[in-house]
Amino acid sequence: MSQVSQVREIGVGLLGLGNVGSGVVQLLADNAAAIEERLGARVVVRRIAVREAKKRRKVAVDRRLLTTDARAVIDDPDVAIVVELVGGEAEAKQYVLHAIERGRHVVTANKALLATHGPELFAAAAKRGVELYLEAAVCGGVPVLRALREGLASDKIEALHGIVNGTSNFILSTMTAEGRPFDEVLAAAQREGYAEADPALDVDGGDAAHKLVVLAMLAFGARVRLADVYVEGIRQITPVDHAYAERFGMVVKPLVIARDHGTEGLELRVHPTMIPKRWLLASVAGVNNAVYVTSRALGHSMYYGRGAGMMPTAVAVVSDVLEIARNVLGRSPGMAATSVPRLTRRAVRDIGLLRSRYYLRFAVLDRPGVLAQLAGVLGKHEVSIAHVTQEGKEPERAVTVVILTHEARERNVRLALAQVAKLASVVEAPRLVRLCE
């Protein structure tokens, strides 16, 4: 922070001027007067690190601010807040640690970095007495982390159900609405810019898992291993599954689910889930995100909006910058030096322990006794049937059998399905979708 003329200034050093960085520059410029009025100080971007200095930029920016040396930005004595928007893990981690060492406050949108190295970074920030803010890392512009950190600070969070990956939600919503297969909808999403050329991180659940780990930090103060989160993507969901969901008054959504089981650990899972159409989350369509929080005193609350994109993400980043600036300007003696979360190691429950209802789909040869065989294997594993549907009646051709179970233990369901898969009349691997009601 430096003093120039009468107006106080907060110096920001930007690492990255891609999608989000450009949005940050744009938002700070568009709202400069309002920000100055509210903060009583000016937020000034002092320097910007990029990989290629000569590249065309999405926003008008003074080229003299650009450098390819991220450390020079961090070391600039007029930079009080470093905003990390380079993405990736290794370099970003080095930059954030360097910024903390130099006593800079940090804002990052990097969920991959936080999910893997968050606890180490928070510990470093707490030790050095600087802030590490991360609102944009989950649900872009939707202030869900702020709600967990502040709005619900006096409450105890019991569970979260969220749609936190816009690409997966766009694909499943389009499949539901248009009855088209996954590959076709993915290709269309890529053409329209809703999916990356390499969609794996989005459609296979990795991005959602990063966000779930970050949510668990804020909701439960939990330090968990990313590798312990159960992750299943959406590639296996077919138009047939959507059609059955519709028939049962349900819809398939790409959910992240977290539940606190106290001394028995945390339930953390990412997978497509059938939910009742009457649920608020069922109407969260397209690229939108939402997190539905269950807390002891408040009950239910939901946070909804655009989870990605240049300007929505920039809103979260700039709000973090403003909050840090406000704290820096108004810090009174005796206040804690930093508000970074204090984390406790928590065990993540094995998915086998889950008790849930299940949608099971089988392709079987239409022979007498096949249904009884399926029921027998499920029954032997304590999986009881709530509903059975069989489609088609063509001897010696595969027909579809769909079973909805009562609540069962996942470990038992898996053992049963492994045994069913070996039956001579079963022609493809059984499919499973978890229900949440």
Catalytic residues: 211
**Using CB under 6 A as the criterion, what x/- string covers residues 305-344 for binding ligand NAP?**
---xx---x-------------------------------
Rank residues 210 and 346 by Cβ distance to ligand NAP and give the closer one: 210
Rank residues 276 and 309 by Cβ distance to ligand NAP and give the closer one: 309
The minimum distance between CB 317 and ligand NAP, in angstroms, equals: 8
Rank residues 109 and 420 by Cβ distance to ligand NAP and give the closer one: 109
Rank residues 52 and 396 by Cβ distance to ligand NAP and give the closer one: 52
The minimum distance between CB 206 and ligand NAP, in angstroms, equals: 12
**Is residue 50 a contact point for ligand NAP (CB under 6 A)?**
yes
Residue-wise over 357-370: b if at least 16 C-beta within 10 A, else e?
A: bbbbbbbbbbeeeb
Rank residues 18 and 276 by Cβ distance to ligand NAP and give the closer one: 18
The minimum distance between CB 370 and ligand NAP, in angstroms, equals: 48
DSSP-derived secondary structure for 25-70: HHHHHHTHHHHHHHHSEEEEEEEEE-S-TTS--SS---GGGEES-H
Rank residues 252 and 322 by Cβ distance to ligand NAP and give the closer one: 322
Paired tokens of 137: 């890392």
Q: Tell me which stretch binds ligand NAP (CB under 6 A): 9-17, 265-273, 343-351, 353-361.
A: 9-17
- Distance separating alpha carbons of residues 142 and 61, to the nearest angstrom: 27
Cα→Cα distances 91→116, 155, 207, Å: 13, 37, 19
- Distance separating alpha carbons of residues 35 and 40, to the nearest angstrom: 8
**Using CB under 6 A as the criterion, what x/- string covers residues 125-144 for binding ligand NAP?**
-----------x---x----
List 283's β-bridge partners, or say none: none
Cα→Cα distances 268→60, 216, 348, Å: 43, 8, 7
Site for ligand NAP in 70-109 (CB under 6 A): 70, 85-87, 91, 109
Site for ligand NAP in 225-264 (CB under 6 A): none
Count of residues binding ligand NAP (CB under 6 A)?
Answer: 25
Rank residues 21 and 119 by Cβ distance to ligand NAP and give the closer one: 21
DSSP state, 385?
A: E
Site for ligand NAP in 136-195 (CB under 6 A): 136, 140
Q: Tell me which stretch binds ligand NAP (CB under 6 A): 43-51, 266-274, 345-353, 419-427.
A: 43-51
Give every CB contact of residue 35 below 8 A, 6+ residues apart in sequence.
28, 42, 43, 318, 322
- Distance separating alpha carbons of residues 265 and 254, to the nearest angstrom: 23
Q: Tell me which stretch binds ligand NAP (CB under 6 A): 13-21, 283-291, 381-389, 399-407.
A: 13-21
**Is residue 20 a contact point for ligand NAP (CB under 6 A)?**
yes
Name which position in 1, 18, 238, 415 contacts ligand NAP (CB under 6 A). 18
**Is residue 406 a contact point for ligand NAP (CB under 6 A)?**
no
Give every CB contact of residue 214 below 8 A, 6+ residues apart in sequence.
111, 114, 115, 118, 134, 137, 138, 145
- Distance separating alpha carbons of residues 102 and 95, to the nearest angstrom: 10
The minimum distance between CB 73 and ligand NAP, in angstroms, equals: 8
Amino acid letter at 113? L
Paired tokens of 274: 């059938």
The minimum distance between CB 8 and ligand NAP, in angstroms, equals: 28
Rank residues 305 and 309 by Cβ distance to ligand NAP and give the closer one: 309
The minimum distance between CB 376 and ligand NAP, in angstroms, equals: 49
Strand runs labelled E in 57-216: 66-67, 81-84, 105-108, 132-133, 157-163
The minimum distance between CB 353 and ligand NAP, in angstroms, equals: 32
Contacts 24+ apart (CB under 8 A), 197-202: 199/167, 202/165, 202/167, 202/168
For residue 235, how many other CB atoms are within 10 A of its CB? Answer: 16
Residue with tokens 């569970």: 159
Phi, psi angle pair for 70, to nearest 5°: -60, -35
Paired tokens of 432: 């499973």
Name which position in 11, 19, 218, 244 contacts ligand NAP (CB under 6 A). 19
**Is residue 52 a contact point for ligand NAP (CB under 6 A)?**
yes
Catalog residues that contact ligand NAP under the rule CB under 6 A.
15-21, 49-52, 55, 70, 85-87, 91, 109-111, 136, 140, 308-309, 313
